[in-house]
């Protein structure tokens, strides 16, 4: 490890020179293959914090798929059903617990995860490396790598795949600074852990929170802690199923996250599982075709291209079929990084199977939001912890 190294450029090619360095001591990571860029490191350092905290909070191996400094997916190691194995394109693979966590993190929103940065909480084993090797990705950060797994990753992208090993014991200073337009901002870094104790204040008539919901509240809340604000996260069955990041309006966050959660659910529809792809269609092209197939407003011109993808043109789901299938989604957790100013987000959440909500509370309209949750029979927790991240 070294105190600094030069980068080819910053966020954009014209932003040069650029470097990464540490003021005291040595950098807490080592580059084992290729050379990361400025944005790679922003993703890597944020994603590592997320999976480290997920692992500490749940005791399970954790993985995240990051794009542009926000997670497109995050998950812990829960075994996959046959349906999830199929829609995540891993039904032909043997998965270790860490590989299962990454399959979930990558699989929930495969279009957003295209060209992702990967973070893994534990030693990267061969099954995880094999899974990474077949996906379009920019790099990975983890605390350690099995020798054979490292060799697999070093061969990816003709040796240009970035592999970073981070010191798991590293703890930064409590004070962090940032320069914006020549002005230095300083604050205490967000080192407050998310714990089960944050979910003690239940404000709705329904007080029931099973252990699985507690786990998913931890996942949603920790994911929000490292997601660009405003943000809302839907989680279910040990993984994120939809993230709405960087929106100016709270309800727009909820609509975006809910739409992604709906697509995740719709991809499990038998009609989608049976789509007649031509044999040589690659996984990214399948992802794009499935996403288009599930859009209700596909044009005739777009459908004309389906002849290059499908053996025969499939019939799209009707509005009634979509609604019937979405109504089967249940026990979803919704987390919000700040309070809900209106009940509109609750109304939208009800359409995507949300049963449990965790949010800080503190709005002038908290009573309206609580009343909306009571109407839907939801359980809502006020954590009193805002999780803005900028």
pTM to 2 decimals? 0.96
Looking at the structure, tell me whether residues 253 and 284 fall in a common domain. no
**Closest-CA residue to 150 (of 187, 118, 181, 125):** 125
- Identify the helix (H) or strand (E) that includes residue 30: strand 29-33
Active-site position among 46, 55, 67, 156: 67
390 is catalytic: yes
- Is 272's pLDDT higher than 90? yes
Whole-number mean pLDDT of the chain?
96
Looking at the structure, tell me whether residues 33 and 103 fall in a common domain. yes
Between CA 72 and CA 66 the distance in angstroms is 6
Mean pLDDT confidence for 202-225? 98
Between CA 140 and CA 129 the distance in angstroms is 10
- Is 115's pLDDT higher than 70? yes
Beta strand 29-33 with 175-180 is: unpaired
Between CA 266 and CA 294 the distance in angstroms is 7
Looking at the structure, tell me whether residues 113 and 11 fall in a common domain. yes
Q: Is residue 171 part of a domain?
A: no
**CA separation, residue 307 to residues 58, 293, 299, 303 (Å):** 46, 13, 14, 8
**CA separation, residue 81 to residues 13, 204, 238, 275 (Å):** 43, 32, 12, 19
* 1 within 8 A of 25, measured Cβ to Cβ: no
pLDDT score for 347: 98
* 231 within 8 A of 243, measured Cβ to Cβ: yes
Mean pLDDT confidence for 363-376? 98
Q: Is residue 178 part of a domain?
A: no
- Identify the helix (H) or strand (E) that includes residue 260: helix 250-266
Active-site position among 225, 230, 269, 355: 230
Looking at the structure, tell me whether residues 117 and 219 fall in a common domain. no
Beta strand 354-359 with 379-382 is: parallel
Indicate the residue among 102, 136, 166 that finishes a domain: 166
Length of the chain: 390
| Degrees to nearest 5, angle at CA 125 with 121 and 131 | 95
pLDDT score for 316: 94
Q: Is residue 202 part of a domain?
A: yes
Between CA 336 and CA 388 the distance in angstroms is 10
Between CA 138 and CA 150 the distance in angstroms is 15
Indicate the residue among 316, 346, 374 that finishes a domain: 316
- Is 234's pLDDT higher than 90? yes
In the beta sheet, which residues pair with residue 176? 187
225 is catalytic: no
pLDDT score for 217: 98
230 is catalytic: yes
Looking at the structure, tell me whether residues 37 and 145 fall in a common domain. yes
- Span 273-318, pLDDT tens digits: 999 999 999 999 999 999 999 999 898 888 888 999 999 989 999 9
The torsion region of residue 25 among left (phi > 0), alpha (psi -120 to 50) and beta comes to left
Q: Is residue 26 part of a domain?
A: yes
- Span 146-195, pLDDT tens digits: 999 999 999 999 999 999 999 999 999 999 999 999 999 999 999 999 99
pLDDT score for 1: 66
- Span 181-197, pLDDT tens digits: 999 999 999 999 999 99
68 is catalytic: yes
Mean pLDDT confidence for 202-220? 97
Burial of 180 (0-12, 13-18, 19+ CB in 10 A): exposed
CATH number of the domain to which 241 belongs: 3.40.140.20
Q: Is residue 271 part of a domain?
A: no
Q: Is residue 216 part of a domain?
A: yes
Between CA 19 and CA 10 the distance in angstroms is 8
* 163 within 8 A of 140, measured Cβ to Cβ: yes
| Cα of 383 vs its chain's centroid, Å | 21
- Span 370-383, pLDDT tens digits: 999 999 999 999 99
- The residue segments making up the domain with residue 225 are 184-266+329-382
Number of folded domains that form the chain? 3
């Amino acid at each position: 490890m070294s105190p600094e190294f030069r980068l080819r450029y910053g966020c954009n090619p014209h932003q040069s020179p650029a470097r990464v360095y540490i003021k005291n001591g040595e950098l807490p990571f080592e580059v084992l293959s290729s050379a990361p860029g400025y944005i790679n490191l922003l993703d890597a350092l944020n994603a590592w914090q997320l999976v480290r905290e997920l692992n500490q909070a749940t005791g399970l191996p954790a993985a995240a798929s990051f794009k542009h400094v926000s997670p497109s997916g995050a998950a812990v190691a829960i075994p996959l059903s046959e349906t999830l194995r199929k829609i995540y394109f891993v039904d032909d693979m043997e998965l270790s617990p860490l590989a299962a966590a990454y399959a979930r993190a990558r699989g929930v929103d495969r279009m957003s995860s295209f060209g992702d940065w990967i973070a893994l909480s534990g030693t990267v084993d061969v099954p995880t490396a094999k899974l990474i090797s077949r996906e379009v990705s920019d790099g990975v950060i983890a605390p350690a790598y099995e020798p054979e797994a490292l060799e697999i990753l070093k061969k990816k992208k003709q040796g240009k795949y970035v592999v970073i090993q981070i010191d798991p014991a590293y703890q930064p200073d409590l004070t962090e600074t940032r320069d914006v337009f020549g002005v230095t901002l300083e604050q205490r870094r967000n080192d407050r852990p998310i714990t089960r104790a944050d979910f003690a204040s239940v404000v709705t008539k329904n007080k029931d929170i099973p252990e699985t919901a507690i786990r998913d509240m931890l996942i949603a809340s920790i994911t929000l802690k490292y997601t660009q604000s405003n943000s809302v996260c839907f989680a279910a069955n040990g993984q994120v199923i939809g993230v709405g990041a960087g929106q100016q309006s709270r309800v727009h966050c909820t609509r975006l996250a809910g739409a992604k959660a709906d697509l995740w659910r719709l991809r499990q529809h038998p009609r989608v599982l049976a789509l007649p792809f031509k044999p040589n269609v690659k996984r990214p092209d399948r992802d794009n075709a499935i996403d288009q197939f599930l859009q209700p407003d596909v044009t005739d011109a777009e459908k004309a291209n389906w002849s290059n993808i499908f053996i025969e043109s499939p019939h799209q789901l009707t509005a009634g079929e979509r609604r019937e299938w979405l109504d089967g989604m249940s026990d979803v957790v919704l987390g919000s990084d700040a309070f809900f100013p209106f009940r509109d987000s609750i109304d939208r959440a009800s359409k995507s199977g949300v049963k449990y909500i965790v949010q800080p509370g503190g709005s002038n309209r908290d009573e309206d939001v609580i009343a909306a949750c009571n109407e839907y029979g939801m359980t809502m927790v006020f954590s009193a912890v805002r999780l803005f991240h900028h």
